[in-house]
Structure 1
Amino acid sequence: KAQIRNLDFAIQKQLIKSEYLNTLEQKQGAEDWVKRLKQQTNPLVAHEVLTNLIPALKVSKADFFETFVNSGGLDVLITISQFDNNKDKLRQSLLEIIKALLDAPNDVGFHVVAKHSHLIQDIVNIFDNLDIRTKMCCVQILCILCWWKQDTYSQVCAALEKFASTLHYDTWWPILLDT
């Protein structure tokens, strides 16, 4: 900050303006991503868009995540992951996006996921996938969520219980043991 204060006033003004434009660009970028995702009807193209979104999320700031979520981005991701064609690849991309969210600075991604318990349920529902790598990715994400806070631990347990009841199990332990 001291170095910035020592700069010429015009340069300080340019730095502030560029930071403002960068923030504005990120907000527009998140909304544009949500619009692109909402337009997807072809599972193959949707997978390509999801694959392109992952690196964008990995370099984004907290504002991007908040704008993305507030624009309905998570709900669109869940909808896309339910397409019948190319379902395994779409689900794997969804899990990679969730990992990118959880890697966001200042626990922004954890807060986002915790606010959307239906997202946690969708992660658990991916256990019906036959691919062991996909199941292991689910387990990793769920373990991280359980570790983060008591609230997300409770949400994960509730989602596992609901999933177990659909398989007519009394408890959710066999689901994890099968993985």
Structure 2
Amino acid sequence: MHLPAATAYLTAVTTASPPSHLQRVVAWLHRQPLKFLWLLVLWMAFVLPWLQRDQNKPGEFYPFSNLPMYSSFAPSTYYVYVTDLADQPVAIKFLSGQVLSNIKKTYESELKKQKSKAGGSIKLADLPIEKRHEAGNATLHWLVPFCHADQLAQLGGLRLRQVSIDYREGRIEKTELPVGEVHAPTAPAP
């Protein structure tokens, strides 16, 4: 370095005011390889909450939405599964190619049909057991054509079981009941 250049540099360094906090942050951001990502992080961490500070629900969309389906759960729900006539669970995917979610949807649509027949003012969970049996039997009759005939014959038939899960008084209660039964179709005698 030449002497005048070095002197000018030292004079500039010693006489210049120190950079502000904002200038240091901006300089730091310029040195980062993923500038846009850091800008997004700063936006979501500081600017977005500041902009939403006067809302009824501050932070409603930060960083995740407060969707009711994820923030609160119904006090009761149920699931269904399929057993053989000895009440041993059956791997229904291998037997029929169907998944339990499809069976539950079919069962629920059959329950809704039974509800409309009963007048429609009753809740699905409060349907009488006879109506649930009709819905369960209809579901199993829907399922049988999908099943491999030889495997179904070995099982002798299928049962649909409903497991209700209720949250009451700080406890989880589980109730299981059979809601449908179908026997394997017999081959006609030759």
Mark yes or no: TM-score above 0.5. Answer: no
Relative to the length of structure 1, the TM-score reads: 0.24
More helix by share: 1
* Bigger strand fraction: 2
Structure of larger gyration radius: 2
With the length of structure 2 as denominator, give the TM-score of the two structures: 0.23
